[in-house]
Structures are given as structure tokens and as C-alpha cells.
Amino acid sequence: MDFKVADLSLADFGRREIRLAEHEMPGLMSVREEYAAAKPLRGARIMGSLHMTIQTAVLIETLVDLGADVRWVSCNIFSTQDHAAAAVVVGRDGTVDEPKGIPVFAWKGETLEEYWWCTDQALRWPDGGTPNMILDDGGDATLLVHKGAEYEKLGSVPTATADDPEEWGVILETLRRTIAEQPGRWTETAKNVKGVTEETTTGVHRLYEMHKAGTLAFPAINVNDSVTKSKFDNKYGCRHSVIDGLNRATDVLIGGKVAVVCGYGDVGKGCAEALKGQGARVIVTEIDPICALQAAMDGFQVTVLEDVVDKADIFVTTTGNFNIIRADHMERMKHQAIVSNIGHFDNEIDMTGLAKIPGVVKTEIKPQVHEWRFADGHTILVLAEGRLMNLGCATGHPSFVMSNSFTNQVIAQIELFTKTEEYPVGVYVLPKHLDEKVARLHLDALGVKLTELTKEQAAYIGVHQEGPYKPDHYRY
Ligand code: NAI
């Protein structure tokens, strides 16, 4: 088996944590049980690009139990948990000397070159074949396939994405090399992929853009906008892991500090609530009047970054947008202000601009925590080099919330793989009855008792007794 991880001897530790996580992931475990005999993913060759954590290990082994042949990478250079990667490679009945699990290409602290090499490796099957399904988080695997196919079709360099020029250079190099090795491979891959299921807001945004531009090559399910994903993982997951990231990185006392949360969408709401819960005075920035009003009604001061940049102690960007905290903002910050991003890509904080400030010096305090000293002697602390701090400095979201997200992922994979003809090229969300099913699978574990509608009540509010209980436009 081909694979590349940091250290296979970590597999036992990983397996012990996977065992604990399984208990906390009732949705995934019940999907395993439901489909154990039918194996609806038999024949599926799933390439996954999603943070290689303990929770993801439970997702991967669920896909395998449903019959899929899987290859995996992380979707961020810092987010891999090396013990999880090792355990997945060794597998449930393999050993370090004879691994019998799943090919994983991921380790914590990849370079950008290694990151795109890993993505390429997971997109090629040992028999020379291609995947027929992609499970993506942020859209990098989808991007590589689309840009590769575009390159082959044009016979020249495809149009650049808006992302970091340095990273685009690495992507182009990866494409040049792979096209020289195996001409036509990306066109073939784009043709063979029946669909992609996309995990996060940023990746979904890319999919809708491609569909609008008429360049989307295969159908996609937007997993992010299942209610049981974005209203849970993005909000309650970040409510947990933003504090975990700050604590593990700096252990600074949060109570009494001034914290700025940029963006008050699902992730921003979770972060602001968590920081408030720790006793911080939280200030929110927003561009959307609805979200700004929500923040104000939730009791937060809402203002522009410029007004508070020299007064706050902790900054967290949550926008999925770019250039939120600029170099000139960072220059004006208080001594030892903490600067972090929990949005998907690292361009929310202008790290390139920071490095270009005359006289600025970067010192590593420990991996993923850097002190930047300005010419006048004052410093700021930047977490995870501007990449998502909850996965770079801590272990991301806990299992229970990821069980919701990943149950949606598995159901979406089954939908696209088994009902391909029902999904022409486009971007879809899962039907509401499946969203409700995911929630239902998590109630028992929390001791929730659900009230049952009477026939008369159901008729009165115009729904079926067994659901769905809300119209599609309901916002939760
Ligand atoms: P969202 O769209 O619900 O929220 C983003 C908010 O930022 C919006 O309300 C928008 O109006 C606001 N915004 C945009 N530009 C802004 C600006 N210049 N200044 C202030 N506010 C601005 O998106 P969601 O679901 O909250 O996701 C945000 C990001 O977090 C995405 O990149 C997503 O992929 C990522 N994400 C990260 C997770 C993690 O574990 N680190 C988990 C889930 C999502």
C-alpha cells in the first residue's frame, strides 16, 4: 500500500482515540449499522481532502464499511493529527509492519509543495485509474481536477484563481509535472468523477461560482448548508474550538480582555459567544446589516476595525473573505495582541504584507505560534501563520458535532453515487427529511425526548406527522 504519514508508530494512540470518538459519533455509527449489509458505496473510489483528524478517521472507516475504496489527504498544511493518520493507514486489523488500512498522504506541517503533491497522490489509483467520487473541504481537490482539465483543454496555462500567487505557482508546477507524466489524466478524472460533496462555506462558494461560469464538470452536494452542518459545526464547533486554539497556543487569560470577532455569520456567532462566555468584552465587525443587527441584539458592540485595532487584545477573523486584517492594522495593534483566523483560508490576515513591513522580525515561540516584532519594539502574536487556528493550534471540533457534519457527508456520497442520473451538473443541498434524519440520530445520546405531533396538529400546521417539519425557506 502506498501512503505517506509522519510516524506509523503513533497508530496505537490514534486507534485508542478513534475508539473514544466512535462513542461520541452516534450518527456515523448508526449509518454504519443501517448500511452494513447493503454496502451502497461498493464500487465508489472516493478521494477525500479533509482535515486528517481523529473524527475524520471515523468518517473514513464508515465510508470503507459502506463498501468504498478510499484515498485521503488533509485540506490544510497544519491540520493533520499524526496519530489519526497513522491509525487509518495501519487500519483496524493491520500492524505497523503490515498496514492494512487506507492510503493517507498527510502530516502536520507540510510545505505547500508537499501539500499539492499529497493531493495529487490521493487523486491517482494504484492501477492507473482515477477516483469516481470526491469528498472535499474547501475545494482544493475539486480545483486541481478542474484546473488540470482546463490546462489540458487549452494546451496552455489556465486562468489563475484569486488565491495566493505563491500557492498558484505551486499548483501550476504540480499540473505541469503531472500532465507531462500522464497526458490527458485530468480530463479523464473530470469525466470519471460522478460528483463531489463539499464540506465548508468557502468550498461551496467556489462551487457556485464555477456553476455560474459554466465550468463545473460534475454535480456537487453542498453539505455545508445542511442545517445540521452549518448551524452546528460552524457555530457550536467553533464555540468550542476557538477557545481551545487560543488556550493551547498562548494560555493567555481571556476574561477581561477585549476581543474582536470579524464577521458574525455562523462561525462568528459561535466565536463571539465563546469569548463572551470566558468573560472577554467582545466587539464585532460586519459588512451585512442583518448580521450586524443580530450582533447588536446579542449584546455586542459593532464597529469598524479601524476604531478598535489599537485597543483590543485578541482578534479572530471568521469571514471567509480576504484582507480583513491588513499589515497596517497589525502595525497599530497593542503590544502582544493575539491575531488569529478561523476562516478556511489564510488570506483573511495579510501575512505577506506583514512580512514586508520594514524592520519586522519573526520569532518562533513554538510551532504555529509566532511573535512578530516591529521596528519600534512592540510585538504581536500570530497563530498558525494565519491559517485556521482551531485546527492549526488545537484539534479542531469535537467528535459529537463532527458526527452531524460527517453523517451529512456520508448520506451525500450515497446520494450522488447511487442516484447519479437524478443529479445533472449543478450544486444541490440534501433534502430536508435527510437533514432531520441526521439530527434525529443525535438526540438519544443527549437524552432528548421529542414531542410527537398528533394527526390533528400536523394537519393544522400543514406538515406530515413524520416530517419534514419546516418549509425549505425556514432559517432556523
Ligand atoms: P458566513 O457567510 O455565515 O459568515 C461570514 C460572515 O462574514 C458574513 O456574515 C459576512 O457578512 C461577514 N463578512 C464578509 N466580509 C466581511 C468583512 N470585510 N468584514 C466583516 N465581516 C465580513 O460563513 P461561515 O459559515 O461563518 O464561515 C466563515 C468561514 O469559516 C468560511 O471560510 C468557512 O469555510 C470557515 N469555516 C471554518 C471552520 C473551522 O473549523 N475553522 C468551520 C466552519 C467554517
Q: Quote the cell numbers at residue 436.
A: 432531520
Ligand 1, atom 4, lies closest to the CA of 265
Whether 199 is a known active-site residue: answer: yes
CA atoms of 78 and 383, how far apart (whole Å): 11
Q: Collect the ranges in the chain with pLDDT lower than 50.
A: none
Ligand 1, atom 19, lies closest to the CA of 286
Q: What is the DSSP letter of 227?
A: H
Exposure b/e, 213-245, CB count within 10 A at least 16 = b: eeebbbbbbbbbbbbbbbbbbbbbbbbbbbbbb
8-228+397-435 against 236-393: fold identical: yes
Whether 409 is a known active-site residue: answer: yes
pLDDT at residue number 162: 59
Bridge partners, 363 (sequence order): 371
**Residues that constitute the known binding site for substrate:** 53, 137, 199, 229, 233
Domain spans of the chain, in order of start: 8-228+397-435, 236-393
DSSP codes of every residue in 243-254: HHHHHHHH----
Give the DSSP H or E segment for 13. Answer: helix 11-23
Of the candidates 397, 408, 415, 442, the residue annotated as catalytic is: 397
Whether 378 is a known active-site residue: answer: no
Residue 317's CB: how many other CB atoms inside 10 A? 30
pLDDT at residue number 164: 80
Options 3.20.20.70, 3.30.60.50, 3.30.420.40, 3.40.50.720; CATH for 236-393 is 3.40.50.720
Largest CA distance in the chain: 73
> Which atom of ligand 1 is found nearest the CA of 267?
26
CATH of domain 8-228+397-435: 3.40.50.1480
Residues within a 6 A CB radius of ligand 1:
200-202, 230, 233-234, 237-238, 262-268, 285-288, 291, 318-321, 324, 342-344, 388, 390, 396-397
Give the DSSP H or E segment for 149. Answer: helix 140-154
| Tens-place pLDDT, residues 389-446 | 999 999 999 999 999 999 999 999 999 999 999 999 999 999 999 999 999 999 999 9
Residue 433's CB: how many other CB atoms inside 10 A? 12
Query: How far does residue 289's CA lie from ligand 1's centre (Å)?
Result: 15
Ligand 1, atom 18, lies closest to the CA of 324
pLDDT at residue number 154: 96
Give the DSSP H or E segment for 71. Answer: strand 69-73
Query: How far does residue 202's CA lie from ligand 1's centre (Å)?
Result: 8
What are the distances in angstroms from CA 61 to CA 108, 439, 456?
A: 21, 21, 43
What is the share, in percent, of the chain residues with pLDDT greater than 90? 98
| Tens-place pLDDT, residues 9-31 | 999 999 999 999 999 999 999 99
Whether 156 is a known active-site residue: answer: no
CA proximity to 287, closest of 299, 295, 275:
295
Residue 389's CB: how many other CB atoms inside 10 A? 30
Query: How far does residue 199's CA lie from ligand 1's centre (Å)?
Result: 14
Q: Quote the cell numbers at residue 225.
A: 448548508
Whether 457 is a known active-site residue: answer: no
Question: Any residues with CB less than 8 A from the CB of 385 and at least 6 apart, and which?
Answer: 78, 346, 351, 368, 370, 392
